[in-house]
Every structure is written in C-alpha cells, then in structure tokens.
Structure 1
Amino acid sequence: MDRRHFLRNSALGSVAAAGLAAPAIAQQAPKLRWRMTSSYPKSLDTIHQGAVTLAEYVRGMTDGAFDIQVFAPGEIVGGLQAADAVAEGTVEAAHTSSYYYWGKDPVWALPTAIPFGLNPRQQNAWFYYGGGNDMMNEFYAKQNLYGLPLGNTGAQMGGWYRKEIATPEDLRGLKMRIGGFAGKIMEKLGVVPQNIPGGDIYASLEKGAIDAVEWVGPYDDEKLGFVKVAPYYYYPGWWEGGATLHAMFNLEAWNALPPAYQTALKVGCQAVTCDMMANYDWKNPDALLRLVAAGAQLRPMSEAIMDAGFQASQEVYAEIGAGNETFRKIFDTIAAFRGNSFQYQQIADYTYDTFMMIQKQKGNI
C-alpha cells in the first residue's frame, strides 16, 4: 500500500465511521488551490521534496479538492522572503526554516534549532507533547502566520572549511555561511557569519567570498559540491542537533479552511516529518562514504571549540532572555525538557547505540 493511499483512507475512515459516506464528503469539500513557496532549491530532493510530498498527501486525502502548488526559490519570491510573502498574503503557504527570520526577533530561532538544543526525537516530543506548537503559534499569530513542523534533517554536520580548525582562535575572522541564530553564537567566537540561501552558497565559497560553510549533512552537501573547494569536513554541527523545518500558513487563510482540510495539513505535516528523517537516515551513510572517497577530510570538532561554543550559547541565552520575555518563557521549557530527556536517553538510547557502534568497530556487524 502506498503512502498516499494509506493516509487518504485513514483520514476519511474516521469520517465514514461517524456515519457520513465518503461521496458526501467529496461533494461538500470546496475546491481550493493554494501556492506554497519553498526556501529550498529543487536540487535538494530531500528538503524541497518535503513540500511536494505534503501537497501529494493533501490531494490524496481530499480527493484532489485541495491542491497545493509548490514553487522553488525565486519563482515567486526569494528563499529568505518566504515567511514574509505568506504573512503579506502574496502566497498562502511556505516551506521554510523559522530561524531564517531570527533577526526580527530571536524567538523565531527557537522552533528550528538552537546551539546545544534538542535532537530530532526531543524536538518532536517538545512540539507535540511539551506545548511547543502551541507556544510558537501564539508567537506566529502576531506575525499573521500559523506554523506546523514540516520535516527534520537530524543532527547536522559541522561544515566545510578551507583550512583545519583546532582551537577557538582558529575561528576568529573566519567568514562562514551559517544560518539563523547559530551565527550569533559563532559571532561571539569571532566568526563573521553570512546568511546565504542554499542555491547561492557554492558560488560564494568558490569565489572566496566565504571561508567555510555549514549546510545540512552528507547527502545534501554532496549535491552542492562543497568537497571540491573546501576539503575539511567537521562534525558535529552542535548548533543544529535536530533542525526542524516548518510549513507557514497565512493566518486568515488557515482560519478559513474547513476543519477537514486543517486536519489533512496537520496529518500531512507529521507524516512528512517522519518521512524526511527516514530519507536522510537512509541516504546519509552512503553519501558520507562517497564524500570521503572524493577527498573529504573528516575531522571532529575539538573539545575546546565545543566547550567555547557551549559557554557562548549560555551567555547569549541569558542576555536575550533578560530583555525578551517570550524568548525566555519558551527557551526555559526547552532547557528543562532537554535536561530531563538527556538524563533518560543516556540510560536507554545512548547505552544501546554505543554498544552497537563498538560492535561495528570490532567488525562484528
């Protein structure tokens, strides 16, 4: 059974169980056509595909009555203008990263990823059971938006560098493409952050306009060709332990939707989040092997750099929280859950994962 068939039958099955035949639903459903602008180029078939898959799911769950057309960056607006276009009503929806807009208010960074924040499973737990969705939508409503998580990349890599970096001193003066709020932390370490959309990164790196770049992970990084111009590949990306992408909907357009269509979007977004994570987990291992074969020099971030980054992040969180009540309120819920969750995960997941990794090193698996 394919994904669209399963989701369509699951959504409509609950309605049929309530005593309404599927044909009646189809007759009552208004035909709608929405436009969704993406912040991610079509060449990135993992991230960009998330919006396309959502559109497929929604069409399937509504018998084609609710049709969402997906547009790549530049076809309607630029990648970093996606949320603004939705808020203004230029388009009804966007697939983007909330932290791209943190310059307006640091609160925008919290639902995507913050340095030394949550991993993917923790992100989902916080969104769906820790009140994260509700808190963020209180904030988004003030921007004329309604948001839902739409995909997760997993823990990201630490980026590509023209030269090796071993100490915090090696970061000073480094011009680095680094997205969102993480740039503020790196700036505290002496990095000169550059917020460049995905489609423009390679040219900037090739021309020497930047010295380093972080993007996502092996599969997407391979597609963008960074190994050709910056061979040192560092891990982990401690600023994005589990980056969540978002669907942003114009608030008036969202509120005007029939409840069944809102449900279709909610179900579709959750399904895409699961699908994208599985997609990355399947593709990244082989992509990393190919990158190493192509000349990538894998390097771990030194403990000194990670310690400096952790200390800088704590200072920034305290500084922002002192003057931004919304940021402090939401961050405090993330921080409290982070502590409890890692305490548990070191008992269960970490112990199991570590044992299996040792078996791999021994050649047993």
Structure 2
Amino acid sequence: MDRRSLIKNAGIGSVLAAGVAPAVVHAQSAIRWRLASSFPKSLDTIFGAADTFAKSVKDMSGGKFEVSVHAAGELMPAFGVVDGVQQGTIECAHTAPYYFFGKDECFALGCAIPFGLNSRQMTAWMYEGNGLKLMREFYAKYNMINFPGGNTGAQMGGWFRKEIKSVADLKGLKFRIGGFAGRVLERMGGVPQNIPGGEIYQALEKGTIDAAEWVGPYDDQKLGFNKVAPFYYYPGWWEGGPQLDFFINQKAYDALTPEYKAIVEAAASKAHVTMQARYDALNPTALKQLVGAGTKLRPFPNDVMNASFKAAMTVYSELNAKNESWKKIYADYDKFRADQNLWFRFTEMSFDRFMQSQKL
C-alpha cells in the first residue's frame, strides 16, 4: 500500500504510529522565500541568474518551494542585501560579494580581486579547492551561507570620456569601479566610486564620474554607456572571473529538509553555469555592434597594467599584516592561483594564443 492510500484509509494516529509521518509532512510542506537582488531587471544576464535559481527551485519541488525574486530597490537598496539576509529580513539574496568589502575585505575574495583567478579557476577553487569551506567559515559571522551563483567571465575595463595613455591619466580620475578594486586605483591617484549598476549611466552622462565599468559588451550596450563615453578599454584586470553568490540566511537554510537543501544547491549550480554561458554567447555580437557604431576599443597601456599589478600586491601584503581572516583565506587562494597559472600556461593560454592568431 502506498502512502496516499495509507493516509486515505487510516487516521492520522495510525499514520504516526506507522512512522511515515515525517516523509509525508516533508512532501506536503510549502515554503515561500523572498530573494533580494543587487541588480535591475533590465540586465537579463546577471539579474536573470536569480530567476533561473527560483524557477529551478520551484520546478524541482513540484511547486511546493517558491522563491519570489525582487530587483534592487524593491525590498531594499542594492547594497543593503547582506544586512537583509544577516538580520533575517529576507531569506536570501543574489549579489556580488565584493560590494561589501567595506564590512571586511574578505568579501572580495569570494567574488574577485585584482589579478585574481579567472572564472574556471574560481569555480575550481570553490568546488574542488578550499574556497567554499573557507568562505563559509567567514560568512558564518554574518549568519549566512553562500552558494556560487554565476560568473561573468573576464570583464572589460570600462568606458572613459578621455583616452588613457599612461598611469598619469588616472590621477584624479573619478572612476566607477566594482568593489575592492578601488583600493588599488587609489594607489595610482584615481578616485573610486561605488555606484549600483542602475545608477551608472546617469552619473556618467552628468559628468559626476569620468569613467565607469560594469561587466562587458552585452550589458554595457543595454545600459547605453557608449552614448556618453567613446573609449572602451580592456581588460578588466580587477575582474578576471568575478563570482556572484546566493547568500542565504543560516536559520532559514537550517530549517529546510535535506531534500530542499539539495534542491537549493542544485538550483544554484544551474544558475552558476547558465549565467556565464549567456554572457559568453551574447558578448561577441554586442561587441561587434558597439565597434560598428563608433566605439573606440583600446587596450590598457602596459605601464597601467604593471603599475596596477604592483599596487595590488602591495595592498594584499598590507592586508596580510592587519586582517587575520584575510591572511588565512588569501594564503590558500594565493597558492591555488599559482598552481592554476602554472597549469594554464601550458594548456589554456597556449591553445587560446594559437586560436586567436587564426583568421576564423
């Protein structure tokens, strides 16, 4: 006799006595969560990862576990989502951890740091290295657990009103730059601005800032940056592989059944893979269109790259001396990065360099 027949033909007392009630309750329980995103709905790639997560959770639970997704500003400001999760105002959030480096620099290690891991290396560190373990130990201080929730891949260096010919051109430059990278820009005389994605265009248009970076061609075209700044630089040396995260309130997560916990993990993994696949598929066409419309594509000068690298390593050394959590996590991250660079030097880089030289 199956459980449904048992329930139909027996009273609840008989069911409890039979020892099958927990499974029945689990199967019938309904859960409703709210997710606050740090991104506007117009960015279907990065905001869309939260939609992918929510749809997967609903589908895998047969509609019993639903997550409503809210764009930045609907439930709370873009940069307020960690406080929301920590305090239990919302059950979960989808965001770029480095937005919150002001709370502790370690948040940046869970997303991207200048001259850090690329997207594949970051995923490897998280899933097969010590990344998830170390970051979850850190995030526990904020009453939350993280699940990787997407990656943009290496980003572009941003949009500039004026050409950047040397490091000297960065002095006094008001640059909207994501998260922790501002610490490095300051060392070269720049003036970092931390502005949510939905507010960048207006700031650039009004001249409140001199330059801005977001992600890459597809998003940048949607946001219209090419209309207010002519020079488009690459690469985004501060974001070789920025990982987005789903932050979940620890109490809300602990209250889930093992089945629902497995669903959350699987749904986050699907969102993680889907997000970068979309970016990789959409960016090439967008870049062609931007250049065709007059965008001036430029590489950062070598002296800018070298000075940035030197400044970044100095910042990391200083943090090792004053932030014990950073020292612990960065030591593992640094070793993993060195091993990955050695491996990629012989495989990925050699293959990519040859392929880029071919006229396909």
The aligned counterpart of 2:108 is 109
Aligned pairs for 1:133-282 (under 5 A) are: 133-282=132-281
CA RMSD of aligned residues (A): 1.1
Q: Mean alpha-carbon deviation: is it higher for 304-313 or for 266-275?
A: 266-275
5+ residue gaps in structure 2?
1-22
Helix, strand or coil for the counterpart of 2:82? helix
Aligned mates of 1:124, 1:324 — CA distance in 2 = 25
What is the CA deviation profile of residues 228-283 of structure 1, one whole-angstrom value per residue up to 9, with x for unaligned ones?
11110000000000010000011111111111111111111111111111111100
Q: Normalization by structure 1: what TM-score?
A: 0.91
Question: Is the 2:26–2:257 Cα contact (8 Å) retained in structure 1?
Answer: no
Helix, strand or coil for the counterpart of 2:142? coil
Q: Percent identity?
A: 51
Quickly say closer, same or farther: Cα 1:242–1:29, change in 2 above 3 A. farther
Aligned mates of 2:249, 2:26 — CA distance in 1 = 26
1:125 maps onto 2:124 in alignment:
yes
The aligned counterpart of 1:100 is 99
1:325 maps onto 2:324 in alignment:
yes
1:73 maps onto 2:72 in alignment:
yes
The aligned counterpart of 1:28 is 27
Helix, strand or coil for the counterpart of 1:117? coil
Helix, strand or coil for the counterpart of 2:346? coil
The aligned counterpart of 1:354 is 353
One-letter code aligned to 2:193:
Q
1:56 maps onto 2:72 in alignment:
no
CA shift, 1:26, in A, is 8.8
Question: Is the 1:34–1:69 Cα contact (8 Å) retained in structure 2?
Answer: yes
Q: Looking at CA atoms only, which structure, 1 or 2, has the larger radius of gyration?
A: 2
Runs (4+) off by over 2 Å: 24-29
CA shift, 1:72, in A, is 0.6
Aligned pairs for 1:283-322 (under 5 A) are: 283-322=282-321
CA shift, 1:25, in A, is 6.9
Helix, strand or coil for the counterpart of 2:358? helix
Aligned mates of 2:340, 2:161 — CA distance in 1 = 36
Helix, strand or coil for the counterpart of 1:46? coil
CA shift, 1:28, in A, is 2.2
CA shift, 1:131, in A, is 1.3
Helix, strand or coil for the counterpart of 1:127? helix
5+ residue gaps in structure 1?
1-23
1:43 maps onto 2:42 in alignment:
yes
CA shift, 1:293, in A, is 1.3
Helix, strand or coil for the counterpart of 2:154? coil
Q: Normalization by structure 2: what TM-score?
A: 0.92
CA shift, 1:134, in A, is 1.1
What is the CA deviation profile of residues 275-321 of structure 1, one whole-angstrom value per residue up to 9, with x for unaligned ones?
11111110000000011112210000111000000000000000011
Aligned mates of 1:340, 1:310 — CA distance in 2 = 19
Aligned mates of 1:215, 1:25 — CA distance in 2 = 47
Aligned mates of 1:27, 1:336 — CA distance in 2 = 43
Aligned mates of 1:27, 1:314 — CA distance in 2 = 50
